[in-house]
Chains A and B, each alone.
Chain A
Amino acid sequence: MKKTVHILLIFISLFFFRGSLAVEAEVDVSMQQETKTLAYLVSDIRIPFWEIMSRGIRKQAEELGYKIEIYSAQNLAKQELQNTIKAIQSRVSGIIVSPTNSSACSTILEFAQKAGIPVVIADIGTESGDYVSYISSDNYQGAYEIGKVLTEKMQALGWEKGSVGIIAIPQSRENGKARTAGFIKALDEAGIKGAGIRQQKDFSYGETYHYSLELIRNTPQLRAIWLQGSDRYQGAVDAIHQAGKEGEILLLTFDAEPVFLDLIPKNILVGAAMQQPFLMGEKSVQALDDHLTGKAVKHEIKLSVLSVSAENIDSLLPIIRRNVLGVSSR
Chain B
Amino acid sequence: MFKTIRKPINSIYVIAGMIIVLSVLAIMSVSTFLSYHGEKQRIDQEIKANVQDTLLTIEEHIEDLISSYSVNEYSKFIGSEVKYRHLFAMIVEDKNMGAILGKKVYVKGKIRDENWQVVDYDPEDSLQREQLQNAYFTSEKELVNNLGQSIGKIIVVVSDHEFHQRLDNLIYRNLLATFAISALLVATLFLMMRLHLLEPLTNIIEAITQRDSEGLPLEYAPIKGPNEIRVLSQTINHMIKATRVSRQQLMDKSDALRAAKERFQLAIDGTRDGLWDWNAKEGKIYVSEQYEAMLGYQSKDMPDTLEEWLKMIHPDDVDKAQYEIKRYLESKGQGVYENTFRMRTKSGQWLWITSRGKAIFDDEGNPVRFVGFNTDMSKLIQQQEELKKQKDLHQYLANHDTLTNLANRSLFNDRLMHSIKQAQRNGEKLAVLFIDLDYFKEINDSLGHNIGDKVIQSIAKRLQHLIRGGDTIARLGGDEFTILMDDLPDEQSASHIADRVIENFRQPVRVDHHELHLSCSIGISIYPDNGETPTDMLKNADAAMYRAKNLGRNNFQYYSKEMTEEAFERLNMEANIRSGIQNEEFIVYYQPQINSSTQQIIGMEALVRWNSPSLGFITPGRFIPLAIATGSIIDLDRYVMKKAFKEFAAWIDEGLDPGHLSINLNMKQLIREDFVSYLSGLIEQGGFSASCIELEVTEGELMDNPSQAINVLKQVESLGVKLSLDDFGTGYSSLSYLKKLPISKLKIDKSFVDGLPFDKEDEAIVRAIIALAQSLNLDIIAEGAENLQQVDFLSQLGCSNFQGYFFSKPIPAEEMHNFLIEYRRSH
Binding site for B on A (CB under 8 A): 77-78, 80-82, 85, 103-107, 110, 127-128
Would A85 and B100 count as touching, CB distance under 8 A?
A: yes
Binding site for A on B (CB under 8 A): 68-73, 75-76, 96-97, 100-101
In addition to A78-B69, A105-B72, 11 A-B residue pairs with Cβ atoms within 8 Å of each other are: A77-B68, A81-B69, A81-B100, A82-B100, A85-B101, A103-B72, A103-B73, A104-B72, A106-B72, A107-B71, A127-B76
Q: 4 tightest CB-CB pairs across the interface, nearest first?
A: A106-B72, A77-B69, A107-B71, A103-B72
Residues in chain A near residue B101, CB distance under 8 A: 85
Contacts of B100 in A (CB 8 A): 78, 81-82, 85
Q: How far is the CA of A77 from the CA of B73 in the complex (A)?
A: 12
Chain B positions within 8 Å of A127 at CB level: 72, 76
Contacting residues, chain A, for B71 (C-beta < 8 A):
81, 107, 110
Contacts of B97 in A (CB 8 A): 81
A104 to B100, CA, bound (A): 15
Expressed in whole angstroms, the Cα–Cα distance for A238 and B308 within the complex equals: 173
Dominant secondary structure of chain A at its interface with chain B? helix
Per the bound structure, the CA–CA distance linking A105 and B100 in Å amounts to 17
Tell me the bound Cα distance from A138 to B101 in angstroms: 37
**When A81-B97, A81-B100 are in contact, do A103 and B69 touch as well, CB less than 8 Å?**
no
In the bound complex, residues from chain B placing their C-beta under 8 Å from that of A85 are 100-101
B97 (CB) vs chain A CBs: closest residue? A81
Tell me the minimal C-beta distance from B790 to chain A in angstroms. 170
Chain B interface, DSSP helix/strand/loop, else mixed: helix
- Report the minimal beta-carbon distance from B10 to chain A, rounded to whole angstroms: 72
Query: In the complex, how many angstroms separate the beta carbon of A105 from the nearest chain B beta carbon?
Result: 8
In the assembled complex, the CB of B69 is this many whole angstroms from the nearest CB of chain A, namely 4
Q: Shortest Cβ distance from B370 into chain A, in angstroms? A: 139
Cα–Cα, bound, A77→B100 (Å): 12
List 13 A-B pairs, Cβ < 8 Å. A77-B69, A78-B96, A80-B69, A81-B71, A81-B97, A85-B100, A103-B70, A103-B72, A107-B72, A107-B75, A110-B71, A110-B72, A128-B72
Residues of A contacting B75 in the complex (Cβ-Cβ under 8 angstroms): 106-107
Closest B residue to A76 using CB positions: B69
- How far is A107 from B70 in the complex, measured between Cα atoms in Å? 8
Shortest A84–chain B CB gap in Å is 9
With beta carbons under 8 angstroms apart, the residue of B70, B76, B96 that contacts A104 is B70
| CA of A106 to CA of B73, assembled, Å | 9
The CA of A81 and the CA of B99, in the complex, are separated in Å by: 11
User: How near does chain B come to A115, taking the closest CB pair, in angstroms?
Assistant: 12
Q: Which interface residue of B68, B69, B76, B101 has the most chain A CB atoms within 10 A? A: B69
| Least CB distance, A298 to chain B, in whole angstroms | 25
CB nearest to A78 among chain B residues? B69
Min CB–CB distance A101 → chain B (angstroms): 9
User: In the assembly, what is the distance between CA of A128 and CA of B72, in Å?
Assistant: 9
A247 to B105: give the CA distance in the assembly, Å: 62
Which A residues are in CB contact (< 8 Å) with B73?
103
A80 to B68, CA, bound (A): 11
Q: How far is the CB of A20 from chain B (nearest CB, A)?
A: 27
Please, how many angstroms separate the alpha-carbon atoms of A87 and B69 in the complex?
17
Distance of A103 Cα from B70 Cα, bound (Å) = 8
Select from chain B the residue with minimum beta-carbon distance to A86.
B100
Q: How far is the CA of A298 from the CA of B100 in the complex (A)?
A: 33
Q: Within the complex, what minimum Cβ distance (angstroms) separates B254 from chain A? A: 112
Interface centre among A78, A82, A85 (most CB of B within 10 A): A78
Cβ contacts under 8 Å, A110 to chain B: 71-72
Q: Which A residues are in CB contact (< 8 Å) with B72?
A: 103-107, 110, 127-128
> B4: shortest Cβ distance to chain A, in Å?
87
**A135: shortest Cβ distance to chain B, in Å?**
21
In the complex, A85→B75 CA distance in Å? 18
Measured between alpha carbons, how far is A330 from B751 in the docked complex, in Å? 209
Chain B residues with Cβ below 8 Å from A77 are 68-70
**A130 and B231 alpha carbons, distance in the complex (Å):** 91
* Closest Cβ–Cβ distance, residue A180 to chain B (whole Å): 26
Inter-chain CA distance A103–B74, complex, in Å, is: 10
A107 to B66, CA, bound (A): 13
B88 to chain A, nearest CB (A): 23
The answer for the CA separation of A273 and B97 in the assembled complex, in Å, is: 40
Q: B68 to chain A: which residues have CB within 8 Å?
A: 77
Q: How far is the CB of B189 from chain A (nearest CB, A)?
A: 61
Q: Contacts of B69 on A, CB cut-off 8 Å? A: 77-78, 80-81
